[in-house]
Amino acid sequence: MTASDVSQRTVTNPTGMIEAPVGESRRSRRRRERAEVAAGRLSSPAASTIAIVIAVLWSIPTLGLFVTSFRTVDDIQGSGWWTALTSPLFSPYNYQAALVDSGLASNFVNTLVITLPAVLIPITLALLAAYAFAWIPFRGRSTLFVAVFALQIVPIQVTLVPLLNLYVDAGVAGSFWTVWLSHSMFALPLAIFLLHNFMKDVPPSLIEAARMDGAGHVTIFFKVLLPLLVPAIAAFGVFQFLWVWNDLLVALTFASNDATPLTARVADLAGTRGNAWYLLSAGAFLTMLVPLVVFIGLQRFFVRGLLAGSVKG
Partner 1 sequence: MDWLLDAETTAHKLALMVLAIALFAVVMGGILFAVDKPKRVPQWVVVLGFLGPPLLLLLVGLVYPALRTLVSSFQDRSGDGFVGAANYTAIFTNPELLLVLRNTVLWVVLVPLVATTFGLVYAYLVDRTRFENLAKALVFLPMAISGVAAGIIWKFVYEYRPDQEGINQIGLLNQLLVWLGLEPRQLLLDQPQNTFFIIAVMIWINAGFAMTVLSASIKAIPDDITEAARLDGVSGVEMFRHVTVPSIRPALVVVLTTVAISTLKVFDIVYTMTGGQFGTSVIANEFYSQTFRQGNQGLGAALAVLLFVLVIPIIAYNVRQLRLSEEIR
Residues 144-203 that bind partner 1 (CB under 8 A): 144, 148, 151, 153-155, 157-163, 166, 171-172, 174-177, 180-182, 184-186, 188-189, 192
CB of 21 to partner 1, least distance (A): 18
- The smaller minimum CB distance to partner 1, of residues 174 and 202, is found at 174
8 A C-beta contact, residue 262 and residue 108: yes
| Closest to 37 (Cα-Cα) out of 3, 61, 62, 12 | 3
Find out whether 304 and 123 touch, Cβ atoms under 8 Å. Answer: no
Burial of 232 (0-12, 13-18, 19+ CB in 10 A): buried
Tell me whether residue 233 or residue 266 sits nearer to partner 1 (CB atom): 266
x/- track of binding to partner 1 for residues 68-107 (CB under 8 A)? x-------xxxxxxx-----------------------x-
Strand partners, 255: 174
Please measure the distance between the N-terminal and C-terminal CA atoms of the chain and give it in whole angstroms: 34
User: Beta-carbon neighbour count of residue 147 at 10 Å?
Assistant: 11
Q: Which helix (H) or strand (E) holds 200?
A: helix 176-200
Interface with partner 1 (CB under 8 A), residue total 127
Q: Tell the smallest beta-carbon distance from residue 35 to partner 1 (Å).
A: 8
CB of 129 to partner 1, least distance (A): 4
| Per CB under 8 A, 297 contacts partner 1 | no
Partners of 174 in the β-ladder: 255
Handedness of CA 221, 223, 227, 228 (dihedral sign): negative
303 binds partner 1 (CB under 8 A): yes
Rounded to a whole number of angstroms, the minimum distance from the CB of residue 92 to partner 1 is 19
Instruction: Quote the Cα angle for 6-11-12, to 5°.
Output: 100
| Residues 9-68 contacting partner 1, CB under 8 A | 11-12, 34-35, 38-39, 42-44, 47-48, 50-52, 54-56, 58-62, 64-65, 68
Q: By CB under 8 A, what part of segment 222-241 binds partner 1?
A: none
288 belongs to the binding site for partner 1 (CB under 8 A):
yes
Selected from 259, 260, 276, 301, the binder of partner 1 by CB under 8 A is 259
